[in-house]
Amino acid sequence: MRGICKRFGEVRALDQVSFSIRAGQVSALLGENGAGKTTLMQVLAGVQPPDDGEVELDGKAVSLRGPQQAIALGVGMVHQHFQLVPTMTVAENVLLGCPRPRLWLGRRAAHEELTALAAQHSMSIDPAAPVWTLAVGQRQQVEILKVLHRGARVLVLDEPTAVLTPLEIEPFFDALRALVSAGAAVALITHKLREVLAVASTVTVLRRGRVVAADLPVDTVDEERLGALILGEGEVDGEAGRAWSGAPRSVTSSPAAAAQTPRLSLRRVEARGPRGELALRALDLEVGSGEVLGVAGVSGNGQRELAEVVVGLRAATSGAILVDGAEVSGWSVRRRLDHGIGYVPEDRQRSGVSAGLSVMHNLALRRYRRPPGRALCDWGALAAHAAAQVEAHDIRVASLQQPAGQLSGGNAQKLILAREIDAGPRLLVAAQPTRGLDLGAAAAVRARLAALAQGGCAVLLISEELDELLELAHRVAVLYRGHVAGTLQRDEATPERLGRLMLGQEASL
Amino acid sequence: MRLGLIPRHQPSPRRRAAVTALALVAGLALGALFLVAAGINPLAAYAAMARAAFFGGAYSLSDTAVKATPLILCGLGCALAFRMRLWNVGAEGQLLLGAWAATGVASAWLPADMPRLLMLTSMALAAMAAGALYAALAGWLKARAGVSEILTTLMLVYVATHWNNYWIFGPWSQGGFPLTPVFPASARLWRLSGLTLHAGFVLALLMAALVWWLLRRSRLGFEVEVIGDSPEVARSVGMPVARDVVLVLAASGALAGLAGMVEVSGVVFRLQERFSPGYGFTAIIVAWLARLHPGAVVVVALLLGGLLVGSREVQPAGIATMLQGLLLFCVVGSELFMRYRLVRRRHG
């Protein structure tokens, strides 16, 4: 790919970007969120037409007019979020959207074909198994098989390890190595340095739509150098830099009064998930004031339901939820929030900020009913307060009237935190608070969480970033199938132990 | 050469106005094609309609305002609900029930020699209560059981039609004819001397101002905006979404119910079959053309009211409905150009 340019409105997403993927090796594409990695790969996959520049395949210039054509030319994309139909079998999923549609699926032939294809790439998978029965790592194999089956010679993997547990990552890398040794060309999009160093041959670094380092052989770089490249040399001090250089573990001091009555306690809480399945099972949990309790787990083991049950968005079918000793199970969300709960939802763009409303309106969401007992909003005071909040929390906005949907992920999250902190919470429920944020914004969010705990607030931090949990949490509880599989003190929580608990391989402590 | 669409950011208010105006012109131009096909000179037809509706002196303006009055009230009701993404498409039913309640107060339940102000106020309150409760029924079903308000509000229109017919043909029938006795003088709205224009028009303007002000300033109005933009966010910050669904549908129904009272008390002076030519349905178009803005509802209602008056001048009679449809089609279609920029692409 040479000299690729792509603009979205005023934003230059890609500016003269060149990137090459060679057969027989893994080429990594590294950069912060918003650096242009995904856009570049979408150009390659035919999803986005480039404004300028050209794509060459095997030395010949090709014009990609759509995903179908990219597939026909042998470019296969494995998306970060799996595109599988859970109720269908592995074979059915692979045949779905097959470029050579057949009237009859030819089940037996398909199964044989797939087993052979899997074996060829040293994967083992049962073609007849329904996808919902598979573990996340296996689902990823199905995704890869899907593109291989369509004859892909160039594989693009978008943040493939984001959904894997620590223990699943190594086998996945083995599979990748097997793929390239069989002659495939693999592009690995990631923002995790360790993975680049572990599996890639060369690395290209993008920053703000430009290539800042092209095709560096990985044996010539280390984590520090790559970090500097991603962030830009000058910016490796300050907040982001600190987050980078090994992260001080003393962000949160030990809670002063762990022995006091807990702020939040869940006793044998059960709740159903969106499909009626039992998502939380006899769950016991306690968070003390000034304590950050981390909640780890493979995605989909009850994290979302846990947050929703505490806030009141989902009803607990049994058990007790106590906040400062008050049983809140029967309370509305409003009453619970008024009682001192703050909530940073997992799905920031859908549940956190109202995208079509202004920054000012979004900052008013927890404040518009002050003083109580009146029918009207005091927009003068709310606007003044919003201006102060934007200033105090360093939320970068064009104006208070800017629609919140235009804010970057980091600024949107700062807005949400500003709003929730301003409400003076005694308990903050933060779900995936740094997911998708760039390093600078993630560090800012973590600093605020740490400061809140320092001030005596109890923080329930649900995260899939182990590093984040190890940095912030005093204790880490691991959810496995809606149950707390174990709770580890910070100093005994190693990635290995957490990983085993996340997979249900270690008995409850 | 090929045409392509590129997403654009928030359109400016100026651009919105310009695109909407262009869409209206396009609607009239499309309508002209149909008129030509029907053998009518479109320019002459549009001129005759404009004269009858707006440029025919006080009488024509008065008629237009009278037609616009129920459209304003029902349009406000629809716009209010639509802002919260509650698709109240049954304003017609709420209007019918409001007219029924007002008629009951005027000719059956209160003595005819009541003081006029007291009588009219009672009629208005009864009509609003009837419309509100009727719409709140749909709201309650939606909030409690997730029943689609599109279906319930629409089907309740038919229930209301037959309910009114029962009273018109039965208990309130005047000598077997399907109409109620004429209202006493105390139950008729004040009229501008010699004209058809009645006090209901002023009431509608006041309601538009009230709805605009409440949306902008009240806490409930803020909740409506947030729920309309993002119900997930509203729930996450603890807004009482279910309560607001019932409340807003009730308010929406109250406005439509008031339209029913204004129509029987200012125009017809009795309840009869088919006294509304579908104001409650046209109001859906009004709300959309006005892009759910209360002030714009007044302007659009006057335009469509003028269309109703003006189409009396041209045959066949379906022309007004056709033009309404075309205008809605063009304005809704123009939404595309608000969100996307049309560009020419060099290669094909």
ipTM value, please give it. 0.85
Check pLDDT > 90 for residue A464.
Answer: no
pLDDT at residue A237, as a whole number:
41
> Once rounded to an integer, what is the mean pLDDT over residues B225-242?
95
CB–CB of A479/A295 below 8 Å? Answer: yes
CB contacts, 8 Å: A334 with chain B: 238-240
CB within 8 Å: A361 and B225: yes
pLDDT at residue B203, as a whole number:
97
pLDDT cut 90: percent of chain A above it:
33
The mean pLDDT of chain A is 82
- Summarised one tens digit per residue, pLDDT across range A341-397 is 999 998 888 899 999 999 999 999 999 998 888 899 999 999 999 999 999 998 988
- Summarised one tens digit per residue, pLDDT across range B64-122 is 999 999 999 999 999 999 999 999 999 999 999 999 999 999 999 999 889 999 999 99
Among A86-100, A328-342, A370-384, A461-475, the range scoring the smallest mean pLDDT is A86-100
Closest residue of chain A to B4, computed from CA coordinates: A49
CB within 8 Å: B236 and A333: yes
Topology at the third CATH level for domain A264-353+424-502: Rossmann fold (3.40.50)
Q: Mutating which of B6, B217, B218, B230 best tests the A interface, going by the most A Cβ atoms within 10 A? A: B230
Closest residue of chain A to B215, computed from CA coordinates: A376
Q: Mutating which of B236, B241, B339, B347 best tests the A interface, going by the most A Cβ atoms within 10 A? A: B236
Check pLDDT > 80 for residue B254.
Answer: yes
Spatial separation of the C-alpha atoms in residues B40 and A276, rounded to whole Å: 62
pLDDT at residue A466, as a whole number:
82
> Once rounded to an integer, what is the mean pLDDT over residues B324-334?
86
| CB-based contact, A403 to chain B, within 8 Å | yes
Q: Nearest CB to B219: which of A312, A376, A403?
A: A376
Decide: residue A158, CB within 10 A, 0-12 exposed, 13-18 middle, 19+ buried.
buried
pLDDT at residue A124, as a whole number:
73
- Summarised one tens digit per residue, pLDDT across range B144-157 is 999 999 999 999 99
Closest residue of chain B to A334, computed from CA coordinates: B238
pLDDT at residue A241, as a whole number:
38
User: Does A274 sit behind a cis peptide bond, omega within 30 degrees of 0 on the bond before it?
Assistant: no
Spatial separation of the C-alpha atoms in residues A223 and A459, rounded to whole Å: 31
- Summarised one tens digit per residue, pLDDT across range A162-214 is 767 667 778 788 888 888 888 888 888 887 777 788 888 888 888 877 888 88
pLDDT at residue A86, as a whole number:
81
pLDDT at residue B271, as a whole number:
95
CB within 8 Å: A357 and B9: no
Q: Nearest CB to B238: which of A334, A345, A361?
A: A334
Q: Where in chain A is the domain with CATH 3.40.50.300?
A: 2-242, 264-353+424-502
CB within 8 Å: B229 and A356: yes
CB within 8 Å: A379 and B217: yes
Phi, psi angles (nearest 5°) of residue B263: -70, -45
The three-class DSSP label of residue A418 is helix
Among A129-133, A306-310, B10-14, the range scoring the smallest mean pLDDT is B10-14
B36 vs A237, which has greater pLDDT? B36
Structure tokens at A93: 């999923």
pLDDT at residue A257, as a whole number:
44
- Summarised one tens digit per residue, pLDDT across range B266-303 is 999 999 998 999 999 999 999 988 889 999 999 999 99
CB contacts, 8 Å: B230 with chain A: 350-351, 353-357
Instruction: Look at residues A189, A185, A86 and name the one whose alpha carbon lies nearest to residue A138.
Output: A86
Phi, psi angles (nearest 5°) of residue B181: -60, 155
Return the number of other C-beta atoms located less than 10 Å from residue B45's C-beta: 21
pLDDT cut 70: percent of chain A above it:
87
CB within 8 Å: A9 and B235: no
Q: How far is B229 from chain A (nearest CA, A)?
A: 6
pLDDT at residue B346, as a whole number:
59
| CB-based contact, A374 to chain B, within 8 Å | yes
Give the amino acid at A295.
Answer: V
Count helices and strands in chain A by DSSP H and E runs = 17, 20
Check pLDDT > 60 for residue A236.
Answer: no
Closest residue of chain A to B231, computed from CA coordinates: A351
| CB-based contact, A379 to chain B, within 8 Å | yes
CATH architecture of A2-242: 3-Layer(aba) Sandwich (3.40)
CB contacts, 8 Å: A366 with chain B: 237
Instruction: Look at residues A231, A234, A329, A232 and name the one whose alpha carbon lies nearest to residue A280.
Output: A329
Spatial separation of the C-alpha atoms in residues A444 and A435, rounded to whole Å: 13
Secondary structure (DSSP) of A217-264: EGGG--HHHHHHHHH-GGGSSHHHHHHHTT--GGGSPPPTTTTSPPSE
Integer angstrom CA distances of residue A405 from A163, A366, B176, B185, B230: 26, 18, 62, 56, 11
Please, what is the end-to-end C-alpha distance for chain A in angstroms? 53
Residue A316 pairs in a beta bridge with: A271
Domain ranges of chain B: 1-40+319-348, 63-313
Secondary structure (DSSP) of A43-106: HHTTSS--SEEEEEETTEEE---SHHHHHHTTEEEE-SS----TTSBHHHHHHTT-SS--SS--
pLDDT at residue A248, as a whole number:
39
Q: Mutating which of A48, A328, A343, A351 best tests the B interface, going by the most B Cβ atoms within 10 A? A: A351
Query: Residues of A numbered 300-359 whose beta carbons fall under 8 angstroms of chain B's beta carbons: which are they?
Result: 311-313, 332-338, 343, 345, 347, 350-357
Among A154-168, A319-333, A491-505, B159-173, the range scoring the smallest mean pLDDT is A154-168
Spatial separation of the C-alpha atoms in residues A377 and A404, rounded to whole Å: 20
Among A3-7, A365-369, A406-410, B185-189, the range scoring the smallest mean pLDDT is A3-7
Closest residue of chain B to A360, computed from CA coordinates: B222
pLDDT tier at A2 (50, 70, 90 boundaries)?
Answer: low
CB within 8 Å: A355 and B219: no
Among A220-224, A355-359, A405-409, the range scoring the smallest mean pLDDT is A220-224
CB within 8 Å: B230 and A350: yes
Closest residue of chain A to B341, computed from CA coordinates: A9
Spatial separation of the C-alpha atoms in residues A256 and A254, rounded to whole Å: 6
pLDDT at residue B297, as a whole number:
96
User: Does B316 sit behind a cis peptide bond, omega within 30 degrees of 0 on the bond before it?
Assistant: yes
Integer angstrom CA distances of residue A159 from A77, A84, A156, A189, B9: 11, 17, 10, 5, 28
Spatial separation of the C-alpha atoms in residues A460 and A452, rounded to whole Å: 11
Integer angstrom CA distances of residue A492 from A297, A385, A488, B122, B330: 17, 43, 6, 74, 66
pLDDT at residue A442, as a whole number:
86
Check pLDDT > 60 for residue A244.
Answer: no
Secondary structure (DSSP) of A139-164: HHHHHHHHHHHTT-SEEEEESGGGGS
Topology at the third CATH level for domain B63-313: ABC transporter involved in vitamin B12 uptake, BtuC (1.10.3470)
